[in-house]
Structures are given as C-alpha cells and as structure tokens.
Amino acid sequence: LKLFADAGGEVEGFHGGRGIIGAIAAIGETLEADHTYELLAYRKPENWGKPRSLNPASVKKMAEATKHETFGNLDPETGRVLVTPRGPDPVYFGVRGETPAAVLKAAKMLELGEPVERWAVFRSNQGTDAHLKTVKAVSQVPAYSCVTVEGHVSHAPRRFPGGHVIFKVEDGTGTLACATYEPTGDLTKIAAELVVGDRVRIYGGLRKAEPVLEATLNLEKLEVLEAVRTFRKVNPLCPKCGRRMKSMGAGKGFRCPKCRHRSVKAEKASVETERKLKPDLYLAAPRAHRHLTKPEERYGLEKTVMPGVYLKLRPKVFWGYGWPPP
C-alpha cells in the first residue's frame, strides 16, 4: 500500500481493507500476456438474494455449441452449472471465453428466467494460470505461494476418510507434502496411483505449517513426467511341468500341485506389473478450479497482445443496460 500511495494513488476500503490488494493488482495488470474475457450479467435489485432461475439445459446446449470458444460452463462429472454464483451477490451469471464476440454469442444462447439489469464484458486473467510461479527447488517454496515445482515421489500416497489423498515429493533440497481432496474429482484417483520414484511436476498453493500439520501443497494439477516400472513377487514355475508352484512354508521351498515336484532351492520370481498411470497432465475437476486455474480446453489457446495494440482491438460495444446485448 505504501508503494501505491508513493505513486500518488488513493485508497478507500471497507471491512478492514479486504480486497484492496486485488483491486490495485487489477489496475496495474495490463494483461498483455495470456488473457480471457468474461461477460457478467447483473440482476435487478429486487431479485438480489433470490434463487437464480437460469435454465441448466440451455447452459449445456451453449457449452456444446461454443466448445473451444468458451470454458468453465459446466462440471462434466456432476453436471453442475458453473456460470452462476452461489451467493446473494448481484451477479446473475458470467460466461468466460477466448474473445468478446465468443462470450456475447454464448450469453445470448442462455434461457435466463429473469430480467437483466445491465451487462459488461471484461478482459481478465481468469483461466490463465497467472497465479502459478515456477520455482527451481522444493526448498524455495514459500508459505502461501502458488507454484509449480518438479520432484520425485518420496512417500507413497495415503488415503484418508472423505476421499483425501496425501503423498510427498522431494528433489534433494527438501520434501514437500501434497494433498488432493475429494472435490477435485479424478485427481485424487490419479494421485493414489503414484508410487515412490515417479517423477512429477506439481501445481498448487502451499498452506503454512500449523502446530499439528506440516506445510502442505494443495494440488490443483499433477503432471506425471516419468512413471517408474513396478514389479511384484510370484511363486516360481515348476521346471518339470510348467505349473505355478506353491510354498511349503518359510524356508521350506516350493512344491508343484500338479506333478508333486519339490525344490528347496527355488525362489520367487519378479514380474513387471502394468501401470494404468501414464505420463500426462492431470487436472482437478472444473468444479474445484480457482478462477485463475487454466482448464484443459484452454491449452494451446494462449494469447499475447503487443503493448498499445489492445485499444485497437477493443470491441465498440462492451457494456449496456437490459437484455439482450446488440
């Protein structure tokens, strides 16, 4: 805040100053790196706090019609609508996408169920992973930071009541606990398939250590860079008939159940097991995404804008009263 004030800025806050840092960051971010757009539609005051009546079927239809143009409309696992807030705020819905034209087109496909007081299209860093910063070592991850860092799985995953999974990653400089929670969907299943030695890149925010809890990275994404080979021990094959032998007890050797051949020198063999987990990038379910989390459908659509060029690209109409937009 001192830096902002020294630059001649003025601040007026509410509720203890909550939101001031975010507001200053929004003013200072020129969004010349990757960015997206969101159309926000606002409710009439008389509807504030009332249940939203947006038709879910129209959201699904819109999402299918604007695939690769919009994102974050529905959670595919549960069918939950993600364009409407869940609280009593005055926003009716928000459609996020790659261009102003895309969000305008998509929003007009929705069956609203109530009048819109006004609307506006914003350029934002939603869905860009702007919050994640790459660090070179586990030991360099500070508390409360959102990072991406590489390492090897050092402690096998453990499941906890409620569907949570915790494992540990190390890179020679330190060890970091990583957690996935039930709302992240299939990401918990993927994390549970990790084994010691797998090389991974982890994405998420670090929760500070507490008296009874170690510092833990809340996982948003998991990239498996290398899945190690795994083996299991099996009884040896009978040298006479080829049948799998059975143990006669600790230190007593093996006996064939078919031809009765015995051997005290035979040993268990190692057989490689097939792993379902393959090198790939795995994301949490959309319902668990933070606003800044880049969804799967945005990979390959990243964009940049040269300084000063955006003003020439800005649409002529990007806000208005009533509904629908022109």
User: Would you give the distance in Å from CA 315 to the centre of its chain?
Assistant: 31
Q: How far is CA 10 from CA 5, 27, 70, 182, 265, in A?
A: 6, 12, 36, 43, 84
pTM of the predicted structure, to 2 decimals: 0.84
* Average pLDDT over every residue of 243-257: 91
Out of 38-42, 157-161, 194-198, pick the least confident: 157-161
Percent of the chain as helix, strand, coil, to the nearest 5: 20, 35, 50
**Looking at the 3D structure of the chain, how many domains does it have?**
3
* Average pLDDT over every residue of 195-221: 91
Q: Do residues 244 and 237 lie in contact, with contact meaning Cβ atoms separated by under 8 Å? A: yes
CATH number of 169's domain:
2.40.50.1010
Give yes or no: residues 123 and 145 share one domain.
no
Nearest to 162 by CA among 183, 177, 178: 183
Nearest to 296 by CA among 183, 127, 144: 127
Residue 93 counted as domain residue = yes
- Residue 264 belongs to domain spanning: 233-273
Does the pLDDT value for residue 311 go beyond 70? no
Average pLDDT, the chain: 92
Residue 211: the pLDDT is 72
What residues does 216 pair with on adjacent strands? 177, 207
Does the pLDDT value for residue 36 go beyond 70? yes
- Burial category of 295 from C-beta neighbours within 10 Å (exposed 0-12, middle 13-18, buried 19 and up): middle
Rounded to whole angstroms, the Cα distance separating 301 from 298 reads 5
Residue 11: the pLDDT is 85
Rounded to whole angstroms, the Cα distance separating 317 from 102 reads 14
Residue 26: the pLDDT is 82
* Average pLDDT over every residue of 238-266: 91
Give yes or no: residues 202 and 302 share one domain.
no
Token couple for 185: 């969907």
Give yes or no: residues 116 and 71 share one domain.
yes
